[in-house]
Amino acid sequence: MSMVEISSMLLLIAFILYIFGTIVFTISVAGKKFKKNGEQTDGKGLGIAGFVITVIGFFSQVGYIFTRWKADGHFPISNLFEYTTFLSVMMILGFIIIYLIYRNNSIGMVALPIAVIVIAYASVFPREVEPLIPALQSNWLMIHVTTVSLGEGILTLSFVAGLVYLLRVIDQSKRSARTFWLEFVLLFLICAVGFALVSGIFQALGYSEKFQWVNEKGNTATLEYNVPAIAGPHDGKKLTDGFGPVFQAPSWMNGVNAPKKFNTVIWSVIGGLVIYGIIRLVLRGRRIGAVLNRIVMNVNPPLMDEISYRAVAIGFPVFTLGGIVFAAIWAQQAWSRFWGWDPKEVWALITFFFYAAYLHFRLSRGWEGEKSAWLSVIGFVIIMFNLIFVNLVIAGLHSYA
Amino acid sequence: MSQEIICECGHKNPEGTILCEACGKPLQEDNPKQLLNMRYEGSARRSQTYNRTAIDKIWNYLSSVKVGVTLIILVLIAIAIGTIFPQNIYIPAGADPDTFYKDQYGVLGQIYKTLGFDNLYKSWWFIILIGLLGASIVVASLDRFFPLHRALKNQKVTRHERFMKKQRLFGTTPTTKGEEQLQKAEQALKEKKYKVSREKGALLAEKGRFSRWGPYVNHIGLMVVLIAAVLRFIPGMYVNETMWIREGETKALPGTHNEYYITNHKFILTTYNKQDPQYKQAIKENGSIVKSYQSDVTLFKPEGQSVLGATPKLKKLRDDQIKVNSPLEFAGYQVFQADYRLNELYKMNFTLTDQSEKKTFGKLSVNLYNPKENYDLGHGYKVKLTYYFPDFYFDDNGDPATKSDTPNNPAFIFDVTTPDKPKGETSFVAIKTNQAISKDNQYKLTFAGLDTRNVSGLIVKRDFTVWIFFVGAMIFLLGVVQGMYWQHRRIWLRKINGELWLSAHTNKNWHGIKKDIAYLTDSLGIPEPVDQLEQKVVTEERRKHS
Ligand code: HEM
C-alpha cells in the first residue's frame, strides 16, 4: 500500500469512529434521567466510552497527517482537501481540550457530527499530492496554518456549545422566529452533507462535462464540471453534450474556478433541502430542533453558556496569534509586506473583530445566555464564510485551486 | 465638590460608588431579587458620576462599552464591504480606477468608488473611524483603571450580609465551631494557592487578581499597534522601493541613498520535474509548476566619497541568493525576490557577409542597451553604427523612429567600410529586414542570433514600524492571555449567628472556582454552596412549564 492509500485509510477509520462516537454520546445524553436541579450526573460510563472512541479517532487522524506528510514531501495543508481535513483534526483537538475541562457529553454529541461533516466535505476535493509553489515553501506557513486552524477549531467549540444551548432553551412548543433560525442553522449543516453526497455520487458515476471559458486570469481555458452544470461559466461554451447549464454564473465571481464552485454550492443547497425534507418526513413533520430539544432536556444551560464563552476565551488569543501575527510574519517573508489587505487577510481580521465584539458584548449585562449563543453561531458562519465563500467569490493570494 | 458616601461600616466612598469599597454593602437602591453586578466592583467611575460639561459628555460617550462595540462593528462592516470588489491596489495594472469600477461592476461599482471603498484603508472616514476606536479604547480604559485599582486595594475581609447573599455562589451551614472551621478553610485554600486573609470570624481568599489587569494590558498593546500605523506616515520610517535589475547589471539599491549596490549575476527559475513520481499526477493536470525563483547577487558598499554621476569604487560585502521566502537581509534592509522577466533581448549578433551570404568577413555583437559605435572586424573590415532605434517604427513622415528606449524591436543603420570600399556602404537592418540603402551594396550584415538575459524584480524594504507592530501585537496577546487564561477568584467565609456563610465570585470560569470550592467544602465537611444563577434558570423554566 502506498503512503497516500494508508493516509486515506486512516482518515476513513477516524471518520467511522466519529460516527460511532456521535451515537455513543447521543445515547449517553438522551438516556439520562431528568434531574430537577439540572446537575450532570449519569451517563458517565458511556461518555467516557465516547471520549475514548474520539481519542482513537484523533490519533488515527494524526496518523493520516504524518503519512500524508510523507507522501506530500511537505506538511499537508496545501490544498482545500488537506486544509479542510486539517481543520477537522483541530476541531476534534478543541473538543478533547474542552472535554477534559468539562467532561460534558452533550458537547460531544454535537461536536463529533460536525467533524464528520467537515471530513466528508473535505474528501470530495481533488486529492492528488501537489508540490508547493515558492510562496508556500515556508515554515512560517506551516506554523501559521496550524495555529489558525487550532484557533478556529476551538472557536467552533464555542458554536457547538452555543448550539446545544439554543437547542436546549428555545421553546419548541410553538413556532417562532427563533425556532425558524435554529432550523436554518441545522439546515446549513445538512447542506454540507448534501454537498458531500451529491459530489460523491457523481464522482462515483465518473460524471464529466467541459466548458470553454475565460478564467479569472483572463485566459481562455477549459473548465471541467464533475456534477451536472446548473450554473455554467459566464459566457462559457459547452464542449460536451451533457446537461445544462440552466443559467450562467455572475461575472463578478472571481475566485479560481468560481463558476464550478458556485455550481457545487447550488447542488449542496438542493441536496441539503432534500435530506432535510426526508428527515422531517421521518420525524413525522416535527422540527429537527424539537426532537433534539427532547434529547438535550437534561443539559444545564448556564454550563453550556459558560463553555461557549470559555471556548472563545481560549480560542480568541490562539486565533489571533495564528491568523494575524504568524500570518503577518509569513506574509512579510513571502510577499515583502506583513499586511496587504488581501481578502483572506481581511476576513481573518473580521473574525478577530467579531470575537472582540463578542467579548465586549458580554461585558454588558444581559448579553449572556441566548444572545451570546446566537453570536457564537454568527462567529461560526464567519469562519465558514472565510473557508468557503472567500475562495469562491474573491480572487486573492490565498485562493486555493 | 464631590460628595462622599459614608457606609455603615464607616468607610468613605467617593461619589458614584455602587458597592461600598470596603464591606461591599450595596449603597444604592437595587432590585432585591437580582444578583449583584460585580463589574468593576461597583466602584465609582467618572463616566457614571459626572455629566455636566461637554468634556464629561464626550468622555462618557467614548467610555461606554456600547459605543465601543458599535465602533468595532462599524469597522468590521466597513472592511467586509471593502472586500466585495478589489481594492485600488489590486485592480489590473494599467486599468484606470476612475472608470474601472463602473465598467466592471456597474452602478454598484460606481457607488463603491464614490464612497471611497476602492481605497478604503486610506479614506478619511475610515481613518476617523479608527481614530474614534482608538480614543474609545483609551478613555474606556482610563475610566475604569483607577477605580478598579482603588477598589481591589481596599477590600475588607468581612463583607456585608447583603453582599454575600447576592453573590452567584452562596451557601450557609449551621456551625458551632466557627473559628476552627475557618482555620481549616485557610489550610485548604492555601493548598489551592489562594492568598488568604483573616479577621475575627471572617475569611477572604483570593487568587489571580493580576488577571484583572489583562484588558488594560491588551488595550495598551492595541494602542502600540495604532501608533505604529501612524508612524508609517512619517518619512524615513518606512522604505519600500521596487527595482528591475538585469543579469550582469550593477545598480544602487533604491531607498538606501546609494549606500548599497547590488549586482545581479543570474536569475534562475526552476520547475518541478515532470517525471517526479510524487507529483507526476498533479503536474499532468495543472501543467508545469514552479519550484523556485532565485537571483544570485553580490552586495556592495561604495568606498570613499562618491562623485555625482560616476559609479563609485565598490567594496564587496557578500554573495547571496535571494529567493521567495528568503530575502537578503542587511543593516535593517530586506531585499525580496518579487518579480521577474525572462529572456529579455540583450545583444544582437551579426556576421558580415557578401550579398550571397557565402563568404564571411567577421562577426560583431551589438549590446542593445549600451551599443558601441565602432566595431573593428580586422583585416580592414570595419562597421560603424550610425543610428540605433531600440523600439523601431516608421513615423508619420515615413522616417524610421523609436517609440521608447526599450529594445522591443531594434533596428540599426550601419556603415560598413572594407578594403575595397573605403568610402563605405550604408545598410539598414531591422529584425525582419536587411535593406541596402543604396542598391549596389556588396556587403551585408546577416543576423546571427540573439543573446538574451533575465531580469529580476526586487523589492527593497526597510520598515522600522514592523517591530513596533510586533511588540504591540505581543503586548496585546500577553494581555489577552493574562485576562483569559487566569481568572480573579474570591471566596468569602463569615460566621454569622451560628451559621457559616460562604459566598464566592469569579470574573470568569465558574467551573474552575466551583472545583476549588468543592475541595474546600469537602475538607470542611459542609455542603457545597448553591449556584443561584442555575437555580434561577431552573425555577423560571418550571414556572413556564406549569
Ligand atoms: C479592536 C478593538 C478592541 C479589542 C481587540 C479589545 C480587546 C479586549 C479584550 C480581549 C478584553 C478582555 C475581555 C474579557 O476579559 O472578557 C477587553 C476588555 C475590555 N474592553 Fe476592549 N478591546 C477593543 C476595543 C475596545 C473599545 C473600543 C472599548 C471602549 C469602550 C473597549 C472597552 C473594554 C472594556 C471596558 C473592557 C473590560 C475591562 C475590564 O474587565 O476591566 N475595548 N477588550
Using CB atoms within 10 A of its CB, is residue B405 exposed (0-12), middle (13-18) or buried (19+)?
Answer: exposed
- B473 inside 8 A of chain A by CB: yes
Three-state secondary structure call for residue B73? helix
pLDDT tens per residue, range A343-358: 888 889 999 999 999 9
Tell me if B82 and A252 make a contact (CB, 8 A cut-off): no
Residues 6+ apart with CB under 8 A from A156: A91, A94, A111, A114, A380, A383
Confidence of residue A172 (pLDDT cuts 50, 70, 90): confident
Dmax (CA) for chain A in angstroms is 67
Measured CA distances, A322 to A141, A150, A329, B182, B346 (Å): 10, 8, 10, 46, 46
* CB atoms near residue B303 (< 10 Å): 10
Evaluate: CB of B65 within 6 angstroms of ligand 1. Answer: yes
How far is Cα B371 from Cα B377, in angstroms, rounded to an integer? 16
Nearest CA-CA partner of B253 in B234, B271, B235, B240: B240
Residue A342 is predicted with a pLDDT of: 81
**Residue in B69, B84, B478, B507 to test binding to A, most A beta-carbons within 10 Å:** B69
Q: Which three cell numbers stand for residue A82?
A: 488537506
pLDDT tens per residue, range B330-341: 888 889 888 888
**Residue of chain A minimizing CA distance to B535:** A37
How far is Cα A352 from Cα A44, in angstroms, rounded to an integer? 36
Min Cα–Cα distance to chain A from B538, Å = 7
Residue B253 is predicted with a pLDDT of: 87
pLDDT tens per residue, range B48-82: 777 777 788 888 888 888 899 999 999 999 998 88
Evaluate: CB of B71 within 6 angstroms of ligand 1. Answer: yes
Measured CA distances, B530 to A247, B167, B534 (Å): 62, 10, 8
Nearest CA-CA partner of A280 in A186, A381, A171: A186
Domain range annotation of chain A: 1-132, 141-172+288-401, 175-286
CA-B64 nearest atom, ligand 1: 30
Q: In testing the pocket of ligand 1, which one of A306, A309, A352, A360 has its CB within 8 Å of the most ligand atoms?
A: A360
Q: What are the φ/ψ torsions at residue A17 (nearest 5 degrees)?
A: -60, -40
Measured CA distances, A183 to A71, A166, A186, A293 (Å): 41, 11, 5, 12
Torsion of CA B8, B13, B18, B20, to 10 degrees: -50
Three-state secondary structure call for residue B44? coil
Question: What is the DSSP code string of B465-515?
Answer: HHHHHHHHHHHHHHHHHHHHTS--EEEEEEEETTEEEEEEEESS-HHHHHH
E strand spans, A170-272: 209-214, 220-225, 231-232, 237-238, 247-248
Cβ contact B390:B410 at 8 Å: yes
**Residue in B83, B481, B544 to test binding to A, most A beta-carbons within 10 Å:** B83
Query: In terms of DSSP H, where are the helices of A31-79?
Result: 44-72
Three-state secondary structure call for residue B386? strand
Tell me if A134 and B105 make a contact (CB, 8 A cut-off): no
B19: DSSP letter: B
Q: Which three cell numbers stand for residue B178?
A: 466557627
* Locus of grid cell 481535513: A85
Query: In terms of DSSP H, where are the helices of A124-176?
Result: 139-169
Confidence of residue A40 (pLDDT cuts 50, 70, 90): very low
Measured CA distances, B531 to A6, A101, A298 (Å): 50, 19, 17
ipTM value of the model?
0.88
Name beta bridge partners: B26: B19
Is pLDDT above 60 for A32? Answer: no
Is pLDDT above 70 for A391? Answer: no
> How far, in Å, from the CA of B484 to the mean position of ligand 1?
12
Mode of pairing for the β-strands spanning B238-246 and B489-496: unpaired
Distance from CA of residue B333 to its chain's centroid?
18
**What's the mean per-residue pLDDT of chain A?**
85
Cβ contact A19:A116 at 8 Å: yes
Confidence of residue A397 (pLDDT cuts 50, 70, 90): very low
Interaxial angle between packed helices A258-282 and A370-393, expressed in degrees from 0 to 180 and rounded to the nearest 10: 140
Residues 6+ apart with CB under 8 A from B432: none
Residue B504 carries which side chain, given as an amino acid letter? A
Atom 14 (ligand 1) nearest CA: A359
With pLDDT > 90 as the criterion, what percentage of chain A qualifies?
42
Three-state secondary structure call for residue B531? strand
Q: Which three cell numbers stand for residue A272?
A: 441539503
Segment B387-410 mean pLDDT:
84
Contacts of A252 in chain B (CB under 8 A): 85, 104-105
Confidence of residue B307 (pLDDT cuts 50, 70, 90): low
pLDDT tens per residue, range B126-169: 899 999 999 999 998 988 888 888 888 888 888 888 888 888 89
Q: Between A388 and A85, where is the model more confident? A: A85
Dmax (CA) for chain B in angstroms is 133
Cβ contact B394:B401 at 8 Å: yes
Residue B13 carries which side chain, given as an amino acid letter? N
Most confident of A259-263, B55-59, B233-237, B285-289: B55-59
How far is Cα A257 from Cα B92, in angstroms, rounded to an integer? 19
Confidence of residue A335 (pLDDT cuts 50, 70, 90): confident
Q: Between A128 and A307, where is the model more confident? A: A307
Residue B19 is predicted with a pLDDT of: 84
- B300 inside 8 A of chain A by CB: no
pLDDT tens per residue, range A175-192: 899 999 999 999 998 988
Measured CA distances, B170 to B58, B161, B189, B378, B532 (Å): 40, 11, 17, 108, 7
How far is Cα B84 from Cα B100, in angstroms, rounded to an integer? 15
Cβ contact B22:B156 at 8 Å: yes
Residue A396 is predicted with a pLDDT of: 46
pTM assigned to the model: 0.87
Is pLDDT above 50 for B5? Answer: yes
> How far, in Å, from the CA of B213 to the mean position of ligand 1?
11
Q: Which three cell numbers stand for residue B357?
A: 551570404
Nearest CA-CA partner of B72 in B15, B25, B28, B137: B137
Element housing B261 (H / E): strand B261-271
Residue A239 is predicted with a pLDDT of: 74
Residue B439 is predicted with a pLDDT of: 62
Q: What are the φ/ψ torsions at residue B339 (nearest 5 degrees)?
A: -155, 175
Segment A222-228 mean pLDDT:
79
Residue B118 carries which side chain, given as an amino acid letter? D
Q: How many residues does chain A have?
A: 401
Name beta bridge partners: B238: B463
Q: What are the φ/ψ torsions at residue B304 (nearest 5 degrees)?
A: 70, -170
Evaluate: CB of B140 within 6 angstroms of ligand 1. Answer: yes
Contacts of B85 in chain A (CB under 8 A): 252
Tell me if B476 and A37 make a contact (CB, 8 A cut-off): no
Q: Round the CA-based radius of gyration of chain B to a whole number and report it.
A: 40
Residue A36 is predicted with a pLDDT of: 42
Nearest CA-CA partner of A68 in A152, A7, A120: A7
**What's the mean per-residue pLDDT of chain B?**
84
Distance from CA of residue B384 to its chain's centroid?
57
Contacts of A126 in chain B (CB under 8 A): 285
Residue A276 carries which side chain, given as an amino acid letter? Y
How far is Cα A319 from Cα A155, in angstroms, rounded to an integer? 8
pLDDT tens per residue, range A119-166: 988 887 778 888 887 777 888 888 999 999 999 999 999 999 999 999
Residue A398 is predicted with a pLDDT of: 45
Residue B396 is predicted with a pLDDT of: 86
Three-state secondary structure call for residue B422? strand
Tell me if A320 and B338 make a contact (CB, 8 A cut-off): no
pLDDT tens per residue, range B477-526: 999 999 999 999 999 999 888 888 999 999 888 889 999 999 998 888 88
> How far, in Å, from the CA of B69 to the mean position of ligand 1?
9
pLDDT tens per residue, range B170-207: 988 888 887 888 888 899 999 989 999 888 888 999 99
Q: What are the φ/ψ torsions at residue B170 (nearest 5 degrees)?
A: -150, 140
Q: Which three cell numbers stand for residue A7?
A: 493516509
Confidence of residue B15 (pLDDT cuts 50, 70, 90): confident
* Locus of grid cell 522601493: B241
With pLDDT > 70 as the criterion, what percentage of chain B qualifies?
95
Q: Between A318 and B395, where is the model more confident? A: A318
Q: Between A221 and B239, where is the model more confident? A: B239
Atom 18 (ligand 1) nearest CA: B215
Confidence of residue B212 (pLDDT cuts 50, 70, 90): very high
- Choose the closest CB to A317 out of B85, B480, B510: B480
Residue B436 is predicted with a pLDDT of: 57
Is pLDDT above 70 for A39? Answer: no
How far is Cα A205 from Cα B380, in angstroms, rounded to an integer? 79
Q: In testing the pocket of ligand 1, which one of B60, B142, B218, B225 has its CB within 8 Å of the most ligand atoms?
A: B218
**Residue of chain B minimizing CA distance to A73:** B278
Is pLDDT above 50 for A33? Answer: no
pLDDT tens per residue, range A69-92: 988 888 888 888 898 999 999 999
Name beta bridge partners: A226: none
Q: Between A38 and A217, where is the model more confident? A: A217
Three-state secondary structure call for residue B371? coil
Q: What are the φ/ψ torsions at residue A347 (nearest 5 degrees)?
A: -70, -30
Confidence of residue A59 (pLDDT cuts 50, 70, 90): very high
Q: What are the φ/ψ torsions at residue B320 (nearest 5 degrees)?
A: -155, 170
